Amino acid sequence: MEKIINGKALALQYQDDIINFIKEREATNLRLPAISLIQVGNDGGSNYYRESVKKLCEKLKITVKECIYEENIEEKVFLDSVKAVDEDINVDGILMLMPLPKHIDSNKAIDQISQGKDIDGLTDNNIGKFYSGKKAFIPCTAKAVLAILESLPIELEGKNVVVLGRSNVVGKPVSNLLIGKNATVTTCHSKTENLKEVCKRADILVAAIGKPKFIGNEYVKEGAIVIDVGTTYYEGKLTGDVNFDEVSELASFITPVPGGVGALTTTMLLSSLCEACKNNV
């Protein structure tokens, strides 16, 4: 089996399920899934993600409703607008692109989204259910990481996993998902002591810190599985947290950037959208 994990190929498998779901809706004259993309300002990363979502939606026959606001929109006006989008019965899921401008409280904004339309798992209700082991929408990047690991010919149970990063959208949910698969998980961060030694013990290393090429071969034991979640523009190229050329010599499996986790993330978002659509009938 090829050691470089092809996120694009795996995404196509999940897209087949979405295509079949949409065909079933069409055959029974049911409304097709619809997503609302909410963005404030002109952040480059948000623009890139929004365009990638739109492109995939077009391919899969998913309706897109864009709500793009000026950077200086008043907080109350924005919050009222998000609430109105959430109350639209023809919208099944909402993706709020981050970051929001500093004058808008992101927690207040997220609070305007109902649990059933929170397909990226950001609301307190979904987070609470997720960490208590109940069915919930979860952040799509974390969902993509698990899908990649489950596609490999390995058992997750009992594996020593190191997750490098503790963000609410990647590090923490990835750790929780892998604990749910009975792996032994260590979550590392900027205050972790002896980081190289800790990482070197990992059977599976998940890097999600946003520092280009930070992980070299001194962090990785031979035969480890390395999942690179990082995406940073470095010297004009999209680059991961892992020094791919170095680490790929040691790893048994490794995800590239681009073409790895990111290639699957948008598909996992739309998979959650279809679930929300099914619940919304």
Please report, in range form, the residues annotated as the binding site. Answer: 165-167, 231
Cα→Cα distances 5→2, 181, 248, 264, Å: 7, 21, 11, 11
Binding residues for NADP(+), as ranges, are 165-167, 231
144 neighbors 215 (Cβ within 8 angstroms): no
d(Cα 271, Cα 26) in Å, to the nearest integer? Answer: 17
Report the candidate in 191, 239, 197 with the shortest Cα–Cα distance to residue 218: 197
DSSP state of 32: P
- Reading the block at residue 53, the tokens are 């979502």
d(Cα 139, Cα 83) in Å, to the nearest integer? Answer: 21
End-to-end Cα distance, the chain: 41
Report which residue type is found at 65: K
205 neighbors 219 (Cβ within 8 angstroms): yes
Q: What is the dihedral of CA 59, 65, 69, 73, to 10 degrees?
A: -150
Q: Beta strand pairing status for 204-207 and 184-188? A: unpaired
